[in-house]
C-alpha cells in the first residue's frame, strides 16, 4: 500500500448510482408469484398499476422480511468497505426519499457498514426499493424474482456533486454503472473528466450493468468508454456489445474482451474484467495479453441467492486494486467476496473477512 493511501484513506473509493432498499422474503410460493405476474429467476422494473400494493402486502403478511441496503453500485461500495477496518474508506452518492425506508437505509449504511453516504433527498417520491422474492423448488434449489421500484433514484441532481467536490481530493477510484449513465449522463461525464484531469491519477471504473443497457444505449456507452480505466461486465453483456458494434460473428469471448480493451481511450491503459458465472474470469489490458483466472467451485447446496454476487466481486476487486495488489490478488478478493454473498440472502456480509486489509 502506498504512503499516500495510508495518509489519505477517506473516500478513497467513491461510488455513484441508484441506492435501493432491498426487501428480501425467503419463503414465497408460486401462487404468490403468479398473483403478481412474476416469474422465478427474473428481474423486472415495477409496474405501478400491477405492483403498487406488493410492498405493503409483504410487510403485512410476512414476518421474516430482511431489510438490506441494495442497488448495484451501493452493494459494491458496501463490499469494498467490508475489506477495511478504517471507516469511510468508501463513499456512496445517490438519491433517496424523505421516508422511513430512506432513513433506515442511511442508518444501516453508516452505522453498520461504515460507509459514508451523500444522498440527495427527494421529497416527492419514495426511496427506491428492490423486492427479492425467493422460492425453493421440489429439488431444493433456490430461485429469485426481483422487482425494482426506482422512484427517488430518478431524483439525483448534479448540484450534490458540485457541492461535495472536496470529497474527491483523496479519491483514487470512482465507480459507476450503465444504469446510472442512462439516467444521469451529465453527472457521469463530469466524473469522467474529473478523473482524466486529476493529478492524483483517479481511476474511472464502469460496469456495463445489463445486456439491455448495452443494446439500447450503446451510443452513450461509446461516448464514455474513452475515459474508462476499469471496465466490468459479464459474458452476456460482452456478447451484446459485440453484436451491437457488429463485430465478427465468429469472435470468441476472448476476442471480444480483447477488442473491448482496445476501444478508443483517452488513457494510457484500460483493463477489462469479464466474469462468466462459475467459469473462468477473463482479463485483458490494453498493454497485455488475455489472462484467465479459474473460479473455485462451491457446492450447489451452499448457494442461497446469487443476487449481488457480481456486485460483490467488483467490491473485492476494487478494495485490493486500491491498495496496489496484483491482478491475481484482486481477482481472488473479488471471487472470495462473491462466494460469501451467494451463501446469504441478498448482499449481506458476515462479520469476519479472511482477506481483510490492514491500513
Active-site residue set:
311
359 vs 347: CA distance, rounded Å:
24
Handedness of CA 345, 351, 353, 356 (dihedral sign): positive
**Grid coordinates given for 124:** 416527492
- The DSSP annotation for 237-287 comes to HHHHHHHHTT--TT--HHHHHHHHHTS--SSS--EEEEEETTEEEEEEETT
Q: Is 254 exposed, middle or buried (0-12, 13-18, 19+ CB in 10 A)?
A: middle
Find, among 320, 344, 322, the residue nearest to 334 by Cα.
320
Q: Are the C-beta atoms of residues 265 and 231 closer than 8 Å to each other?
A: no
Which letter does DSSP use for residue 16 in this model?
E
| Sheet with 116-122, side-by-side order of all strands | 116-122, 90-97, 13-16, 173-177, 203-207, 230-234, 271-276, 279-285, 291-293
Q: How many residues does the chain have?
A: 359
* HSE-up (13 A, CA, CB side) for residue 77: 37
**Grid coordinates given for 71:** 442497488
CB crowding 212-240: b at 16 or more within 10 Å, else e: ebbeebbebbeebbebbbbbbbbbebbbb
Amino acid at each position: 500500500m502506498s504512503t499516500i493511501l495510508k495518509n489519505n484513506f477517506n473516500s478513497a473509493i467513491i461510488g455513484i448510482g441508484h441506492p435501493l432498499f432491498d426487501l428480501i422474503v425467503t419463503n414465497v410460493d408460486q401462487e404468490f408469484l403468479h398473483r403478481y405476474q412474476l416469474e422465478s429467476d427474473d428481474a423486472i422494473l415495477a409496474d405501478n398499476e400491477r405492483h403498487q400494493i406488493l410492498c405493503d402486502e409483504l410487510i403485512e403478511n410476512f414476518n421474516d422480511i430482511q431489510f438490506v441496503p441494495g442497488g448495484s453500485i451501493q452493494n459494491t461500495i458496501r463490499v469494498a468497505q467490508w475489506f477495511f477496518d478504517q471507516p469511510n474508506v468508501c463513499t456512496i452518492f445517490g438519491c433517496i426519499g424523505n421516508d422511513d425506508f430512506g432513513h433506515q437505509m442511511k442508518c444501516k449504511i453508516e452505522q453498520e457498514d461504515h460507509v459514508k453516504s451523500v444522498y440527495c433527498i427527494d421529497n416527492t417520491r419514495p426511496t427506491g426499493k428492490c423486492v427479492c422474492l425467493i422460492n425453493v423448488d421440489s429439488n431444493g434449489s433456490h430461485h429469485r424474482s426481483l422487482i425494482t421500484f426506482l422512484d427517488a433514484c430518478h431524483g439525483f441532481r448534479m448540484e450534490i456533486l458540485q457541492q461535495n467536490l472536496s470529497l474527491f481530493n483523496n479519491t483514487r477510484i470512482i465507480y459507476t454503472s450503465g444504469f446510472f449513465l442512462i439516467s444521469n449522463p451529465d453527472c457521469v461525464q463530469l466524473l469522467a473528466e474529473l478523473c482524466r484531469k486529476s493529478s492524483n491519477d483517479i481511476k474511472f471504473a464502469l460496469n456495463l450493468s445489463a445486456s439491455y443497457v448495452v443494446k439500447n444505449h450503446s451510443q452513450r456507452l461509446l461516448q464514455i468508454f474513452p475515459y474508462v480505466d476499469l471496465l466490468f461486465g459479464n459474458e452476456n453483456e460482452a456478447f451484446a456489445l459485440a453484436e451491437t458494434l457488429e463485430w465478427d460473428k465468429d469472435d470468441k469471448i476472448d476476442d471480444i474482451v480483447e477488442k473491448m480493451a482496445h476501444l478508443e481511450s483517452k488513457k494510457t491503459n484500460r483493463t477489462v474484467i469479464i466474469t462468466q458465472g462459475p467459469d473462468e474470469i477473463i482479463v485483458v489490458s490494453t498493454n497485455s495479453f488475455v489472462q484467465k483466472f479459474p473460479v473455485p467451485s462451491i457446492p450447489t447446496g451452499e448457494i442461497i441467492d446469487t443476487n449481488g454476487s457480481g456486485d460483490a466481486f467488483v467490491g473485492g476487486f476494487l478494495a485490493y486494486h486500491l491498495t496496489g495488489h496484483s491482478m491475481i490478488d484482486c481477482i481472488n478478493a473479488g471471487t472470495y467476496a462473491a462466494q460469501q454473498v451467494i451463501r446469504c440472502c441478498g448482499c449481506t456480509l458476515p462479520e469476519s473477512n479472511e482477506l481483510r486489509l490492514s491500513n
